[in-house]
Structure 1
Amino acid sequence: METLANNTLRVWQEQGRQLIPQNFAEFRRLLLQAKDLQERGNYEAAAVYAQIAANYAQLNHCGFFVSQELEQLLVKIGREAITSDVSRKNTSSHQTARNILHVSTHLANIGGISRLMWRWIKQDSSRSHCVALTRQALNQVPENLKEAVCNSQGNIYALGDRSGGIISRAKRLRECAAAADIVVLHTWEYDVVPTIAFANKEQFPPIIYTNHGDHWFWVGATISDAVANLRESGRLLSGQRRGIEAKRNLVLPTILEPAYRKLTRSQAKQQLGIDSNSVMLLSIARSVKYKTVDGVNFADAHVELLQQYKQAILIVIGAGSSNEDWSAAIEQTQGRIMVLKETKDTAVYYQAADIYVDSFPFISITSILEAGSYGVPAVSRYPYSSLACGVLGSDMPGLDGNLIRVRDIQEYTAALSGLIEDEQFRLSLGEATKIKIAQTHWGDNWQSALNELYAHVAALPRKTATLDIIDETSVGEPDVFLPSVNQTNVKTVMHWHMPLLPLPQRLSLWLSLVKKYGFRNNPLNTLMSEKWRSHYYQWRSRY
């Protein structure tokens, strides 16, 4: 067990060194296809292939976190394909800025981007907020976001609810931005619509990119006047690897709903049917974050601890929908490891918890913050030796100084043992964590940080596009570890974006995929346009 992390990291490093050049070669192939289409004036298909390239680079790390060549191509498409000028309807200074346009791709009821957006809009109540969605129907928008926008006297625009593809959506986004004082991007990392829409930056208000996925490759650096990183490790990587100037490279803590206890720990445990004298360890994340490493799964890492402390139990929410087999660990601990499916109703679990344990090998920062908001101390594993890998670990402004980070399983077990044995230390650390989170991530305190961000960005000279830079790759840290986080077949990426292609290119791509992967792996429904595919899946869901 002592060498598990080191052995695993060496394996991941070797895999990364092999996969990064392969991934980069595939990315280049997709980028060249997009460039060829752009040069031939087929801007719609060029934009889709550019988005496929971006999504591929996001899901299959290519040794960089931004592609200047891809950004240059998108700016060219925007300038050549959209010729109409847009007159600014608002030219307010930062002191009077009142109209904010938020841009996102697709929002769900569960997810960090959705929560951050509606909390942002709800908190920033003195301004009017509109939302533009590049790939979502109005009837799919989460109700809490609709309510927050409505209360701010704003509107929600579904840019894809008319016929047309990426270029038409970019045109509509330009129109939406004409009335805004500031544009805030919350888009998915691959979304090329804003970069195309805002290619002529002098026509538009200041643009802030909210860096939700700081460990991913993403598109939009060229058009963004500032990057609002959610944590310090993201800010460092944005400066070092995305070339974001220091004056444009900022930190805005994620906003949280204030968490007030409705139940004592004992009451919450009673409600869950748990012995009030137990010490409850809690972890909440999506199932993919509990990946088995070298045959040792997340549950195995707690067996020795739970065998030593019979009063301790571990509840893991989210892992219940995975295919991981934790039965041996559950049996060895007499059922004191409980695995549940993903749920939105987590408040009672946070209130019952004595200690929060971060998911591993992939972190879940939002869950740590939510646990800390209830006064629950947290422990997270960080097996990396380099600060360059900071984005692969847990950090947030409200956790600084209170989150316990450990290198290996021995330190992890020792830290948890200390918390189990010393109730006073456990309670005092939990309270300190809650106070720091409240001072940083709640209500008026967060609002002050937001007001400073708006003012700073509005006062900056406008960003200009950087041209004629050739992409370079790295097989150092953290790059070599990222292919182990995710690798996705290019066919899967193409299937996701194929509905956006004009019919001739869609048919051509489908035939090439059939030739390479077979008809069975490329059914006829993949030929549907996005509008018809959406109707098709809605119909299937009813039967």
Structure 2
Amino acid sequence: MQQAADNTPRHSYEEGHQLIQQNYKVFRTLLSQAKDLAQRGKYSAAAVYGQMAASYAQSNHCGLFVSHELEQLIIMIGRQATSPNLYPHNTSALPSNPKNILHVSSIAPECAGIPRLMRRWIQQDSLRSHSVVLTKHAPNEIPQILRDAVAQRQGRIYLLNEKPGGLLARAERLRECAASADVVVLHTWEHDIVPTIAFANKKQSPPIIYTNHGDHWFWIGANVSDVVANLRESGMGLSQERRGIEAKRNMLLPTILEPFHRALSRTEAKRQLGIDENSVLLLSIARAVKYKTSDGTTFADAHVSLLKQYKQAVLVVIGPGSHEDWSAAIEQTQGRIQVLGETPDTAVFYQAADIYVDSFPFVSITSLLEAGSYSVPLVSRYAHTSAACGIFGADMPGLTGNLIRVSDLDGYEEVLSRLIENEAYRLSLGEMTRQKIEETHWGSNWQSSLENVYANAIALPRVVVPSDSTDKIFLGEPDIFLPLIHKTSLTQIIHWHMSLLPLMERLHLWLRLIKKNGLRNTPSNLLMPEWLRSRYYRLRSR
């Protein structure tokens, strides 16, 4: 179900066009610095600048969804700077049915989608042993539910940044963890280069599956991944068209969901939440960043007119907390917009909901699927008509045919009005949505998709790294919209990565930043290496 009309202002195209070229220049500067350090044999520092370049390209789109130049540099660093014979993998003895699976993630926060997917994968794939490696998680606590899932599968959890050493040391530890794995599954942050360094030598690496969580971002790992497991059709298309993933290696793996069964009726759930049982509850759940104000209109503002028209309607939004100022909209609706911070305990809210409204401008597909699993009808805004912009919308195998997508606020309000007024339509659409999700994302139905991904990863020849490739930026859709949606300053990215640099490079960079930005804007704690900072904050938290 989709209504469409492209109402994007012309100035957005022009601004995006300009920003891509500006961002690409910064990216090339970081890449050149990484190449120069590598040529001088300073591989540890080169790796950090390579990750800075990846981080910058991810959060400041520069017309690329993959950089083969950057990946080739990282792979060269992995081959030159780490011991090729340390923890080799016996690829000639791979079983046709893998038994030992190693999941690799950057961090595993309790409320985020990636650790939930990883944990559900481990729980569902019950006939195999599963272990987890986290490249950057220390000193944070690992969610107990993830610990329990790994323990039940006779696996272990490894933290790579607990010990001294930078990115190269972590890569060697990762290769050690993977020495006995039949398959490695990457769930890492898009700019995390540790797996690419670790598995630079494909002849000594296990099969690698890249789980394409961030299909709308630039990401690292295309040149070491034997199979890319895309979670939705639009991401799958982009992987082939813009990342050069071969069709035989480009697969669809629906997001795994644990079966959701109602413990409460809608009326009972509303009572528990202190919400009038006769109200029509609109619910939205996502991380704060997905509700970023767009063109001066907040997510809450988009619902004011509707809530004024329907006095029985209430909007509850979980995730933003105090990150966005929605006080004006809350006041205009007499407090019928309620905003909460992130929480892992969302089941009662889903069971109370009459209608689920997707986050905007960033969609939250996992939350859509979870809401639909409770027979809640789903509505998502999609502001583009171009097929190239499909990655900006909410699409997923289990949502096809039932998710209502609208392009503008008028259409959005019209759809929500019909759902509020017509209870029978609401209930019927919600039940059809649940049935489709169950057929695609639950239990044995999902397991069959996973078995196909494993089989391809084992059977296909290991991916061949391109010998030479030159990046070329793209200035059309969807690229021109991405710089307008998200941006992070170069200074911030440098601050995030300074603690990974070797001491002398860290000190020289710190002094350059002081000269440029002043001592007040260049704190001395940037000189502390990350592993020591992790230990320090862990001790403070006890």
Q: TM-score range by the shorter chain?
A: over 0.9
Residue equivalent to 2:484: 484
- Mapped contact 2:190–2:219 kept (Cα < 8 A): yes
Matches within 5 A, 1:124-139: 124-137=125-138
- Mapped contact 1:189–1:219 kept (Cα < 8 A): yes
TM, length-normalised to structure 1: 0.95
SS in 2 for 1:297: coil
> Which whole-Å deviations, capped at 9, do the CAs of 1:343-393 have from their partners, x for residues lacking one?
222111110110001111221111111110100001001011211111111
Q: Match of 1:36, as an amino acid?
A: D
Residue equivalent to 1:397: 397
Residue equivalent to 1:21: 21
Q: Match of 1:23, as an amino acid?
A: N
C-alpha distance in structure 1 between counterparts of 2:287 and 2:200, whole Å = 36
Q: Is 2:402 the counterpart of 1:384? A: no
> Which whole-Å deviations, capped at 9, do the CAs of 1:177-232 have from their partners, x for residues lacking one?
22111111111111111111111101112111000111111100000011001100
Residue equivalent to 2:203: 202
> Which whole-Å deviations, capped at 9, do the CAs of 1:414-434 have from their partners, x for residues lacking one?
111111122111111101111
SS in 1 for 2:343: coil
Q: Is 2:153 the counterpart of 1:152? A: yes
- Mapped contact 2:360–2:381 kept (Cα < 8 A): yes
Residue equivalent to 2:117: 116
- Tell me: higher relative CO, structure 1 or 2? Use CA pairs within 8 A at least 6 residues apart: 2
> Which whole-Å deviations, capped at 9, do the CAs of 1:221-262 have from their partners, x for residues lacking one?
000011001100100111111010111111111111211101
Residue equivalent to 2:528: 528
Residue equivalent to 1:39: 39
Q: Tell me how far 1:327 sits from its aligned partner.
A: 2.9
Residue equivalent to 1:171: 172
SS in 2 for 1:77: helix
C-alpha distance in structure 2 between counterparts of 1:256 and 1:332, whole Å = 37
C-alpha distance in structure 2 between counterparts of 1:448 and 1:6, whole Å = 38
C-alpha distance in structure 1 between counterparts of 2:10 and 2:293, whole Å = 16
Q: Is 2:218 the counterpart of 1:240? A: no
Q: Tell me how far 1:335 sits from its aligned partner.
A: 2.3
Residue equivalent to 2:106: 105
Residue 539 and residue 155 in structure 1: after superposition, are their counterparts in 2 closer, same or farther (change >3 A)?
A: closer
Q: Tell me how far 1:89 sits from its aligned partner.
A: 4.9
Q: Tell me how far 1:13 sits from its aligned partner.
A: 2.3
Q: Tell me how far 1:6 sits from its aligned partner.
A: 5.8
Q: Match of 1:387, as an amino acid?
A: A
Across the aligned residues of Structure 1 and Structure 2, the Cα RMSD in angstroms comes to: 1.7
SS in 2 for 1:130: strand
> Which whole-Å deviations, capped at 9, do the CAs of 1:84-140 have from their partners, x for residues lacking one?
324435755554310111111111111111111111111111111122222223763
C-alpha distance in structure 1 between counterparts of 2:334 and 2:201, whole Å = 64
> Which whole-Å deviations, capped at 9, do the CAs of 1:298-340 have from their partners, x for residues lacking one?
222222222222221111122332232x333223323222222
Residue 513 and residue 401 in structure 1: after superposition, are their counterparts in 2 closer, same or farther (change >3 A)?
A: same
Matches within 5 A, 1:453-532: 453-532=453-532
- Mapped contact 2:20–2:61 kept (Cα < 8 A): yes
Residue equivalent to 2:314: 313
Worse-superposed segment, 8-17 or 346-355: 8-17
Aligned-residue identity in percent: 64
Q: Is 2:271 the counterpart of 1:270? A: yes
C-alpha distance in structure 1 between counterparts of 2:535 and 2:462, whole Å = 42
Q: Tell me how far 1:460 sits from its aligned partner.
A: 1.2
Q: Match of 1:112, as an amino acid?
A: G
Residue 320 and residue 170 in structure 1: after superposition, are their counterparts in 2 closer, same or farther (change >3 A)?
A: closer
Residue 501 and residue 42 in structure 1: after superposition, are their counterparts in 2 closer, same or farther (change >3 A)?
A: same
- Mapped contact 2:293–2:299 kept (Cα < 8 A): yes
SS in 1 for 2:321: helix
SS in 1 for 2:19: helix
Q: Tell me how far 1:164 sits from its aligned partner.
A: 1.6
Alignment gaps of 5+ in structure 1: none
Residue equivalent to 1:55: 55
Q: Match of 2:497, as an amino acid?
A: H
Q: Match of 2:495, as an amino acid?
A: H
- Mapped contact 1:358–1:364 kept (Cα < 8 A): yes
Q: Match of 2:356, as an amino acid?
A: Y
Q: Tell me how far 1:535 sits from its aligned partner.
A: 3.4
SS in 2 for 1:76: helix
Matches within 5 A, 1:422-461: 422-461=422-461
Q: Match of 2:314, as an amino acid?
A: I
- Mapped contact 2:165–2:531 kept (Cα < 8 A): no
Q: Match of 2:535, as an amino acid?
A: H
Residue 320 and residue 492 in structure 1: after superposition, are their counterparts in 2 closer, same or farther (change >3 A)?
A: same
- Mapped contact 2:139–2:538 kept (Cα < 8 A): no
TM, length-normalised to structure 2: 0.96
- Mapped contact 2:23–2:57 kept (Cα < 8 A): yes
SS in 1 for 2:162: coil
C-alpha distance in structure 2 between counterparts of 1:346 and 1:331, whole Å = 25
Residue 321 and residue 94 in structure 1: after superposition, are their counterparts in 2 closer, same or farther (change >3 A)?
A: farther
- Mapped contact 1:92–1:181 kept (Cα < 8 A): no
C-alpha distance in structure 2 between counterparts of 1:402 and 1:147, whole Å = 35
Residue equivalent to 2:295: 294
- Mapped contact 2:6–2:385 kept (Cα < 8 A): no
Q: Tell me how far 1:480 sits from its aligned partner.
A: 0.8
- Mapped contact 1:68–1:467 kept (Cα < 8 A): no
C-alpha distance in structure 2 between counterparts of 1:214 and 1:488, whole Å = 19
C-alpha distance in structure 1 between counterparts of 2:215 and 2:374, whole Å = 26
- Mapped contact 1:94–1:455 kept (Cα < 8 A): no
C-alpha distance in structure 1 between counterparts of 2:439 and 2:93, whole Å = 30
> Which whole-Å deviations, capped at 9, do the CAs of 1:6-44 have from their partners, x for residues lacking one?
665534323211211111111111111111111111111
C-alpha distance in structure 2 between counterparts of 1:332 and 1:296, whole Å = 15
Worse-superposed segment, 152-161 or 480-489: 152-161
C-alpha distance in structure 1 between counterparts of 2:11 and 2:360, whole Å = 17
SS in 1 for 2:379: strand
- Mapped contact 1:90–1:180 kept (Cα < 8 A): no
- Mapped contact 2:134–2:160 kept (Cα < 8 A): yes
Residue 518 and residue 541 in structure 1: after superposition, are their counterparts in 2 closer, same or farther (change >3 A)?
A: farther
> Which whole-Å deviations, capped at 9, do the CAs of 1:444-475 have from their partners, x for residues lacking one?
21111111111122111221001211111112
Q: Tell me how far 1:147 sits from its aligned partner.
A: 1.4
Residue 335 and residue 164 in structure 1: after superposition, are their counterparts in 2 closer, same or farther (change >3 A)?
A: closer
Residue equivalent to 2:141: 140
C-alpha distance in structure 1 between counterparts of 2:56 and 2:140, whole Å = 29
Residue equivalent to 1:323: 324
C-alpha distance in structure 2 between counterparts of 1:527 and 1:182, whole Å = 37
Q: Is 2:86 the counterpart of 1:88? A: no
Q: Match of 2:464, as an amino acid?
A: T
Q: In the comparison of the two structures, how many residue pairs are matched?
A: 537
SS in 1 for 2:329: helix
- Mapped contact 1:357–1:378 kept (Cα < 8 A): yes
- Mapped contact 2:162–2:534 kept (Cα < 8 A): no
Worse-superposed segment, 301-310 or 350-359: 301-310
- Mapped contact 2:262–2:351 kept (Cα < 8 A): yes
C-alpha distance in structure 2 between counterparts of 1:302 and 1:468, whole Å = 51
